[in-house]
Amino acid sequence: MGKYRPLLPTDRSNLLYPVTVLNDAAINILVFSISRNLAESGAGLFLMGVFGAGFSLTFAVSSFTFGAVSDRRAKKLFIYLGVLVLLASSLLCYVLPSASVLHLLAYTLSGCSGGLLYPPLISWLNQKHSLSATSRGISSTVVRFSISWNLGVLLGNYSAGQLFEVSPTAPLLLAAGFCVVNLAILAALIPAGPATSESESPHAATEPHADTRTLLDTADSRGMSAEKAQLFITVSWVANIGGAFVGSMILHLFPKLAVDIGIAPELHGVLLGITRGAVIGTYLVMHLSTFWQYRLPVLLSLQGLSVMGLIILYFADSVPAVLTALVCLALLSGHNYFAGLFYGNANSSHENRGASSGLHQGTIATGIAFGSLGGGIIGSSFGIRAPYLLGIAVTGVLMSVQVALYLRHLVGRQQHTARNVAT
């Protein structure tokens, strides 16, 4: 008899990529449909900001919490729970009255699904890669994961824009359908029988599980110090908050401006899809190059470009102007997400990558929450374009914080060098 060959390979972690595509598609269907429906029903920016902040705050809190917990528990369970929570949220949003308190709570619940699912999923994908400040293996995983969730965003926005014309609630059924498909995929990913810890896989058995600082101090091809690596992890968190603060206005408040300008739902979805293409292009450039790694001027330049995008959006009254502004903002979004995941996972031990990914996701969600709420408050008082001025101010302040952190690092390094010379 011939040797038995399983239908699926033993290492089925690659199935997590289609799970990511469908999960992000479902989340973005909810965000698009609910924010667009609020805008078209005449809701004010404050109410839209409250809805966006509720979603993002639960995403942030659950990311901080479950990222660390998933390092000590079965990652598969948290991924399952994340999909189930999103399925429940989609169905509840479909049946509950729009803009009601219960509708807000159901929408808020969907944010919790992201915090449950993404930190353990990212950690699981990176289990096979060793600790290195410039790891190509981690870069490969990050680019595949990042492209996957952005394809989900593109799919979600486009399909929601098309179905919204049929009915404002029709896209929510598609989101629920994507969740059901994900549960089927996870059933294939998690076979029956004794569970095997990801850290016990053949790949992981040969990987180092040492302390981050020790490894970075003793061996790195570019001479990367632990202090500089930690600096850029911190800087990426600050940049995440600022970039997400601005991005939240596109996610939760821009639909109001789109309705005011006269952009139809289908075109709205297409515009957001094009910006996802710009984000994916940014990921590919970063994966194929190293010029951006541990270099502050690159990050500051992209934040300057995002300020230009906000200025254009403030004055925009046509589709080309809006698209130009959105692409400027997309380049920073792409850089921040890829760099934050890369720095965190490349400089964290296997046992801490869930927590690191949770911090990354949590800082982004925190920025989105405050941007959505702050922009909603400012917009309700000073007009639908005023939030973009707030975004410019916040970006400028956080750029100053990043420069201050970098200068403190340089001073500390000079003092350390002086002490070594003296001894």
376-397 residue pLDDT tens: 889 888 988 999 999 999 999 9
Q: Which of 178, 63, 80 is nearest to 118 (CA)?
A: 63
Residue type at position 112: C
Model confidence band, residue 220 (pLDDT cutoffs 50, 70, 90): very low
Asked whether residue 8 is domain-assigned, the answer is no
Cα 395 from Cα 242, distance rounded (Å): 6
The pLDDT > 90 percentage for the chain reads 29
Cα 336 from Cα 334, distance rounded (Å): 6
Asked whether residue 216 is domain-assigned, the answer is yes
Model confidence band, residue 362 (pLDDT cutoffs 50, 70, 90): confident
CA torsion 326-62-395-260 (nearest 10°) is 40
Neighbours of 215 (CB within 10 A): 19
Q: Judge if pTM exceeds 0.85.
A: no
Asked whether residue 340 is domain-assigned, the answer is yes
CATH number at residue 61: 1.20.1250.20
Torsion angles phi and psi, residue 271, rounded to 5: -60, -45
Asked whether residue 339 is domain-assigned, the answer is yes
Asked whether residue 114 is domain-assigned, the answer is yes
Helices (H) and strands (E) in the chain, counts: 15, 0
In the three-class reduction of DSSP (H, G, I as helix; E, B as strand; rest coil), residue 349 is classed as: coil
Cα 39 from Cα 84, distance rounded (Å): 28
pLDDT at 269 over 70: yes
Instruction: Output the average pLDDT for the chain.
Output: 80
Cα 210 from Cα 369, distance rounded (Å): 35
Neighbours of 11 (CB within 10 A): 13
Cα 332 from Cα 211, distance rounded (Å): 31
Cα 409 from Cα 397, distance rounded (Å): 19
Cα 406 from Cα 402, distance rounded (Å): 6
DSSP notation for 313-344: HHH--SHHHHHHHHHHHHHHHHHHHHHHHHHH
List, in sequence order, every beta strand (DSSP E) within 164-298. none
Q: Which of 376, 250, 391, 392 is nearest to 322 (CA)?
A: 250
Q: Which of 404, 378, 400, 399 is nearest to 389 (CA)?
A: 378
Residue type at position 120: P
Q: Is 141 exposed, middle or buried (0-12, 13-18, 19+ CB in 10 A)?
A: buried
pLDDT of residue 20: 93
Cα 13 from Cα 15, distance rounded (Å): 5
Distances (CA, A) of 105 to 54, 92, 99, 147, 190: 8, 9, 10, 30, 31
pLDDT at 193 over 80: no
Cα 243 from Cα 333, distance rounded (Å): 6
Q: Diameter of the chain by CA atoms?
A: 77
Asked whether residue 383 is domain-assigned, the answer is yes
Asked whether residue 10 is domain-assigned, the answer is no
Model confidence band, residue 368 (pLDDT cutoffs 50, 70, 90): confident
- 42, 33 Cβ separation under 8 angstroms: no
pLDDT at 221 over 90: no
Mean pLDDT of 349-367: 74
Cα 392 from Cα 125, distance rounded (Å): 36
70-84, 186-200, 260-274, 357-371: segment of lowest average pLDDT: 186-200
Range of the domain at 384: 15-191+210-415
Asked whether residue 202 is domain-assigned, the answer is no
pLDDT of residue 204: 36
Model confidence band, residue 180 (pLDDT cutoffs 50, 70, 90): very high
Distances (CA, A) of 216 to 59, 131, 210, 286: 31, 9, 10, 22
Cα 25 from Cα 32, distance rounded (Å): 10
Count structural domains, the chain: 1
Q: Which of 26, 52, 48, 25 is nearest to 37 (CA)?
A: 48
Neighbours of 2 (CB within 10 A): 4
Q: Which residue has the higher pLDDT, 190 or 215?
A: 190
Cα 413 from Cα 406, distance rounded (Å): 11
- 199, 127 Cβ separation under 8 angstroms: yes
